[in-house]
Structure formats: structure tokens, C-alpha cells
Structure 1
Amino acid sequence: MTRPSFFGLILIAPALAMIAALFLYPLGFSLTSAFTVPGGGFSLTHFEKAIDLYSTDILFTLFIVITSTLLTALFSIAIAGTLTLGETPWLISSLRFLYRWPLFIPFIVAAQCMRTFLAKNGLMNNSFVAMGIMEPLQATSFLDWRGIIITFVWKQVPFVTLMLAGAMASIDRATIEAGRNLGASRLRVLIEIVLPQVAQTLLVGLVLSFVTMLSVLSVPMMVAGSQPTMMTVDMAFRINSYGDYATANALGVISYAIAGAVAWIYLRHNVKREIAA
């Protein structure tokens, strides 16, 4: 009985070693560094310093990530609903072909693309000028908080849409057809019949997107270099400019707490749903 367990442990040992070296050790080191002073005693000094210096950036990070998550939900519902309930074949085919492309583009590449797309003389403004929608003097740069949100939403919508469209496709079509036969519009069918059945999948996608956007460094650094900025940029700045790992780790613990709060809301919702069922 012990031999299979021993050989199984040998098989999973490389994976366990990678998890310990690349996740558990850095996590433990960051927590220890954030809550202790060089003498080894417990202290909240680093958190006080992080809040004093970067409280505006913490609020800015929450604003960016929450706004991006809400817009991601809105666009994902619209695209998945069109794919599921749409009656225009060319539109459905075009959306099905186009919406997935950002999935295969890394955040750093997406940020670089947005730098040229959203600049004052970038592709977006030049296209609007060429189409006569605005004058050249009206062109403005979106390389600020708006650019960060646009990049995050553009990058995360395909991920959530893919999950949501798959969940919608598995719904019994009889319920949708019944609503349509009773005179309900497609929008009403989407909101009152389809969405309640896929709300769990939508919530999972949004939680994963929230945590992903909270941890991205390249987008806020490359798209908007001005202040305020996101916590990931502050952490990189403290380390690269001052070698101040303690304050950077305190900011990291704050980001852990934010992500943990979102996970707690999700789990609480899940538990209530299971109890109700």
C-alpha cells in the first residue's frame, strides 16, 4: 500500500517543488517582510508608509479595476447574448471570428499596441479625422486612465465572453423559444431568462478578470506613465529605485487583501446559492 503512494509522491515532487519555490516561498517572504522590521519584531510601519505615500494610487487602482470589470461584464453580456440570440447570420459570424483575437495577445503587446492606437496622432484619432468625424485640432490623447481601462476591457472581454457564450449555448433552447413565443423581446429574454441561468459563470469570469487586472504591471506603466498610477507600478518603483522590498511587499499584501475580499464575496454568494438550492 505504501509503494504506490511513494511513487506517486515522486511523480508530483517536481510540481510541488516548483510551487514551493515560485509561489509559497515568495509569498511567505513578502508577508514576513511586510509585517516585520529589520530587528525582527512585528510592526505595521511599512503599511503606514505605503498608505502615506500611495493611498491615492490604491484608490486609483480600485477605481480602474472595478470600472474595467463592470465594463467587461457589460460588453461580454452583449457579445455573448448576440451570439446566442442573434438572428443576423453575418453579424454572428463576424463577432464569432473577431472577439477571440485579444485572447492570444499578451498584456505587454496589448499595451504597446494601445500606445500607438490611442495617442493624440494615433490610429484612432487619425481614422476619425479621415472619416470627417472630428477636426485634427480636436484630437486628444487617451494615454491616461481611460487608456488603461480601454486596454483592460479589450483584453478581458474575450475571456469572459468565451465562458459566457459557452454557458448560454448549453441552456435549454425551449425556455428561450417560449419567451420569444410569448412576445418577449430578445433583450428581455436575455436579461430575464438567459442571464439568471448563467450568472454563476459570469461571476467566475469577472472574479478571475478582476484578479488578473489587479496584478498587471505592463499596461499602467506603458499606457499611462503619469500620476496617479496603479499599485503594481508603485511596487516596481519601490524595488527598482530604492530597493525597498518591505514597502513594496506591504503594497502587495494590500493587493492580496483586495483580491481576497473579492474571492470572499464570490464564495459567500456561492454558499448562499447552495443553501437556497
Structure 2
Amino acid sequence: MIYSKLKPYIMVLPVSLLMVLFIYALINGLIQSFGILPAAGLTKFTLLYYKEIFTRRDMMSSLFLSLYISLVSSLIAVILGVLISAAASASGIVKKRSFQLLKVPIILPHTVSALLIINVFSQSGILSRLSYHLDIIHNQQQFISLVFDKGSIGIILAYLWKEIPFVTLVVVTIMANIDSSLGEAAINLGATRLKAFFNITLPLCLPSIVTSFIIVFAYSFGAFEIPFLLGATSPKSLPVLTYLEYTHPDLAHRPYAMVLNSLMTTISVLLTYIYYKILQRNLKKVGVDTNE
């Protein structure tokens, strides 16, 4: 009897402990970002680190690089994901077991994705060697640099490898279940299949498209492994720069890392809020009371 009453609290205990640790780390990091780190002899509250971070050239370069990588990879992933979803829905392949292979890139660890990109797209990779054997290039160094490059092409390719399947699986779930009679009615009234897609199917899928874009953008903006493994020496992405500041031999550099963490956390919270508002609006459209 006592156990049945305590069971709900026992079940949420692991999550509660994780939340406590998360909130503690968040508050501790915020305090350190204001220059309070007794272990390094820093005890006075200051905004100097925030001021320095936003005036440092390497920091602004890292911020713009992370935004560029996230925006480009997310836009391409959404566009290709929607196109694949449309093709899969129209052909009926979405109902076949082979379509579930799209889940493989999502399941694979980031390090495996990075290794795949290196093996295929680097100057010593499969494409480079194939181009050499076909006499397209005379040596492997002539192959275009796609990995460890300042354009971050290798990073974007690695994100696309994981994000396109995710967007496809999110969007195709909605697209494949849209009543086909809506499109057929539009075609009977004189609309082409393309117009029916853009005027009926796409607007109905728009909420899932927007939310998938927000998710993949937030993921690529805050991810560390792939930019660390595939990124150029300079500039570095924001998560990599944060890691380097955190592991700096001089403990007095720790507040810089915490300022960068605070910046990424703020952007992530903003994206989460946007996602929540979109979800809330969609629930209201289907008649779910979000105030309960």
C-alpha cells in the first residue's frame, strides 16, 4: 500500500536528480561567467568577460561560423527532406520496410559520421582515389578540399547525412497521411499536380517542416563532435571554441567558456520557446485545450 503511493515519486526520482544536477550546473556556470571563480582567485562580480567576448575577433568569427553551418545545413536538409518525402509518398515506398533504412544515419554516432565523411570526401578518400584512377586529376592533392576546409563543407555534409533522414521521417509521417481526395479535387478543378502540392500538401505539412528545421538548427548549432573532428584550424565553431577555453591551462580563462555557454544556452532556450509556441498553436488548431 505504501509502495503504491510512493511509486509515482520513485519513478520520477531519476529525472528529478538529473534536473537538479542540470540546474546546479547552469547556475554555477552563470555565476562563473560573471567572474566569480574562487579557485582561480576571482571573487568580484564583473561584466568584463561578456564585454571582451563580444569584442574578440575570434569569438565573433566562431559565432558567425556556427550560425552559417547551422543555417546552410538546416535549409538544405529541410528542402531535400521535403522532396524525398513527396517522392516517397507519391510512389508508396514509405509503406515498405526498405524505407526504414533512413533511420540508420540517425542512429549512428557522430564519430562514425565524421569518419565516413573523411573516408569518402577527403583528399585521400574514395572520391579522390577514384578521380585519380579515372585520370580526372593527376594527383590526390588536386582533388577539391572538402574536409578541414574554411568553408566547412565537410561539417555540412556530415550534418546533412544525419539531418536529411530526420526531416524526411518527420515530414513524411504527415504527408503520407494527408487525404488524397484533397489533391484529386484540386486537379479535377484544373490545378496541376505541382500546384496541388504547393497549395494543399505543403501548407498542411508546414508546421512539421518548421519544427524539424528548428530542431536540426538547434542540434547543429550546439553540436561539438563533428566541428571538432572535421573543422578547420581557424576559425573554430562556437562549441569548439568553448571547449578550448574551458580546457585552457590558465583557470582564469574559465569565465570565457561560461560566457560562451550562456550564449549558446540563450539561443537554445529561444529556439525551444519558438518550438513550444508552434506546437501550442498546432494543438489549438486540432481542438486541444493547451490551458489544461
Matched, 1:250 2:259: yes
Q: Which residue of 2 aligns with 1:72?
A: 77
After the TM superposition, which of the residue ranges 243-252 and 74-83 deviates more from structure 2? 243-252
Opposite residue 145 of structure 2, the aligned amino acid is S
What's the secondary structure of 1:43's corresponding residue? Answer: coil
Following the alignment from structure 2 to structure 1, what is the Cα–Cα distance between the partners of residues 280 and 8?
33
Which amino acid counterpart does residue 135 of structure 1 have in structure 2? I
1:110 partner SS: helix
**1:39-54 equivalence runs, <5 A:** 39-51=42-54, 52=56, 53-54=58-59
2:248–2:254 contact (8 Å) kept in structure 1: no
| Post-superposition offset of 1:189 | 2.8
Map Cα deviations across residues 132-171 of structure 1 (whole Å, 9 max, x no partner). Answer: 7x43455112012111111111111111110111111121
Distance 1:4 1:101 in 2: 40
- In the other structure, the counterpart of 1:9 is 9
Matched-pair contact (CA < 8 Å) for 2:74–2:213: yes
1:272 deviation in Å? 6.5
Q: Closer, same or farther in 2 for the Cα pair 1:42/1:241, shift >3 Å? A: closer
**Conserved? CA contact 2:242–2:257, under 8 Å:** yes
d(CA) in 1 for partners of 2:96 and 2:126?
Answer: 26
Give the direction of change, closer, same or farther, for the CA distance of 1:275–1:68 in structure 2 (3 Å limit). same
Q: How does 1:79-90 map to 2 (within 5 A)?
A: 79-86=84-91
Deviation at 1:224, TM superposition (A): 1.9
Aligned-residue offset at 1:275: 7.9
CA, structure 1 residues 268+122, in 2 after alignment: closer, same or farther (shift >3 Å)? same
Q: Which residue of 2 aligns with 1:113?
A: 116
Alignment partner of 1:104 out of 102, 107, 118: 107
Match of 1:139 among 140, 143, 148: 143
- Over the aligned positions, Cα root-mean-square deviation in angstroms equals 3.0
* 8 A contact 2:211–2:278 mirrored in 1: no
2:182 paired residue among 167, 175, 188: 175
Out of 194, 198, 206, the position equivalent to 1:191 is: 198
Counterpart in the other structure of 1:35 = 34
Normalised by the size of structure 1, how large is the TM-score?
0.85
**Matched AA of 2:144:** T
Q: Distance in 1 between matches of 2:282 and 2:144?
A: 47
Task: Quote the sequence identity (%).
Answer: 21
Q: Secondary structure at the match of 1:165?
A: helix
Gaps of 5+ in 1: none
Aligned partners of 1:82 and 1:92 also within 8 Å: no
Aligned residue pair count: 273
